[in-house]
Amino acid sequence: MEQLRNYHRMHDWLVEYLSKHRTVTVDMPFTSYTYIADPVNVEHVLKTNFTNYPKGDVYRSYMDVLLGDGIFNADGELWRKQRKTASFEFASKNLRDFSAIVFREYSLKLSGILSQASKANKVVDMQELYMRMTLDSICKVGFGVEIGTLSPDLPENSFAQAFDAANIIVTLRFIDPLWRLKRFFHVGSEALLEQSIKLVDEFTYSVIRRRKAEIVEAPGPAARKHDILSRFIELGEAGEDSGGLGDDKSLRDVVLNFVIAGRDTTATTLSWFTYMAMSHPDVAEKLRRELCAFEAERAREEGVALFASLLSYDSLGKLVYLHACVTETLRLYPAVPQDPKGILEDDVLPDGTKVRAGGMVTYVPYSMGRMEYNWGPDAASFRPERWINDDGAFRNASPFKFTAFQAGPRICLGKDSAYLQMKMALAILCRFYRFQLLEGHPVQYRMMTSSPWRTASRSGSPGSSDSDLFVADSSTLDDVIFGI
């Protein structure tokens, strides 16, 4: 019951325990959760004894209604086939170049909205804008669909609202022993979940049908699109091994898994980054100097569009301090604060902790980033410089210590894509805007499968001088679960 009482502050509650014990076991009515923060234990679970720690039946039973047989929810041969296909597509230069164009396009749309808000001295919700930007982006990159939620009038989107509702409710299942009864009697949160999934499915299946029709109407290499859904459809229709993803239900699972991966986690990090920039003006100023120097090196006149034209996959890779700032944000505020695994057989972790078959082991990136035994006495401090060597190059850390993108065989396939989108957006925003938190607005997270926080802001117009952006409300909707 202590876990349930502390659900609203779950991540910080675990920090308190894991800072003392490194490994914590919590007994539940029908299972037990073992939480780990020691990189040695994490490596054992994610790599050394990988096959003993699948997603598991418990996890899949909670998440099946939303994620189905998608890559986040799959194990065994189905996961391996999907992983192989997705790995090949993510390595494609065509997809990378297409992604860079899309991310630049929507970053500029966001800048345009902020410009108008700044001229009107208007407060805007930055988290909502980030969520709209990442939703539009992933739908364009993943499925070739223009959603339009980042239009200047910021229209309501029933898919996004239903997806968020479903996201929150399936997360509650992890600590609500009565959820199956609620589902059986069709009451409470489970009744709302059913309604939300219906809306989500209506949108998703319409996307699939439209894309299939477009492929039939315009066959051939010249008409080929580079979005992920089109590739899975083409592979399936060609009889190639696409991980068993030929029918509409399987493609639906692909769509929703990539939405949750490409939208929520990225928006979460952008939101926390904005808060970190406001809380650490010295970091924001140092980053602005890097961006101005980057622009000056190319002798281009100032202006958002011209500056954005300089940003590509390769050129963004040269912005070391920006990369360090994003990475430091992920260390302290990982988009996946907890990631549970099932236990197939009894095992003993390297620190001597015994775990039982049928239970769950959860590694906790949020806690790991705050542990002095992992990062030293300044572990709780936001210090991007820790990621930069004396020669100015970026310093990598073990993926079993910096676990924001998981590690081992299920390490995140979209890591490079996520960095590309975040750095594209932040390079533009941090070059032309300053952010300021509105007085009195709390900053806190909210528990759900994966999503950011609510923010509002007021801004000045971009151009040769920087704009001020006043950010209000921030109730961060942090992720609890998943990993490819």
Query: How close are the terminal C-alpha atoms of the chain, in Å?
Result: 30
**Domain membership flag for residue 352:** yes
In a domain, 220, yes or no: yes
User: Does 484 map to a domain?
Assistant: no
For the chain, give the mean pLDDT: 85
Asked whether residue 328 is domain-assigned, the answer is: yes
What is the reported pLDDT for 437? Answer: 83
For residues 187 and 101, give the distance between their C-alpha atoms in angstroms, rounded to a whole number: 45
Give the per-residue pLDDT at 132: 93
Q: Is residue 297 part of a domain?
A: yes
Asked whether residue 354 is domain-assigned, the answer is: yes
Residue 270 domain flag: yes
Q: What's the domain range around 274? A: 2-479
Sorting pLDDT into bands at 50, 70 and 90, what band is 483?
A: very low
* Number of domains composing the chain: 1
> What value does the mean pLDDT take over residues 438-447?
75
- Contacts of 27 by beta carbon, 8 Å cutoff, 6+ apart: none
292 annotated as ligand-binding: no
Residue 377 has pLDDT above 80, yes or no: yes
Name the band, by pLDDT with cuts 50, 70 and 90, for residue 453.
Answer: very low
| Cβ atoms 437, 413 nearer than 8 A | no
Is 140 in a helix, a strand, or coil?
Answer: helix
Instruction: State the residue for tokens 């190319």.
Output: 298
Q: What is the pLDDT of residues 40-77, one digit of tens each?
A: 999 999 999 999 999 888 788 899 999 999 888 888 88
| pLDDT value for 19 | 93
Counts of helices then strands in the chain (DSSP H, E)? 20, 12
* 80-84, 417-421, 453-457: least confident range: 453-457
**pLDDT 10s digits, 200-214:** 999 999 989 988 888
Spell out a b/e string for 434-465, using b for 16 or more CB atoms within 10 Å of the CB, else e: bbbbeeeeebebebbbbbbbbbbbbbbbbeee
Residue 268 tokens read as: 């979460």
Which residue in this structure is represented by tokens 């806190």?
A: 444
> Given a cut of 80, is residue 473 above it in pLDDT?
no
149-208 pLDDT, tens digit per residue, is: 999 999 988 988 898 899 889 988 887 889 999 999 999 999 999 999 999 999 999 989
Residue 309 belongs to a domain: yes
pLDDT-derived band at 269, boundaries 50, 70, 90: very high
Q: In what helix (H) or strand (E) does residue 34 lie, and over which residues does it extend? A: strand 32-36
The pLDDT tens digits for 81-136 are 888 888 887 888 888 999 999 999 999 999 999 999 988 988 888 999 999 999 99
Nearest to 41 by CA among 348, 254, 293: 348
Q: What is the mean pLDDT of residues 228-255?
A: 76
CATH number of the structural domain spanning residue 469: 1.10.630.10
Instruction: With cut-offs at 50, 70 and 90, classify the pLDDT of residue 299.
Output: low
Q: What percentage of the chain carries pLDDT values higher than 70?
A: 87
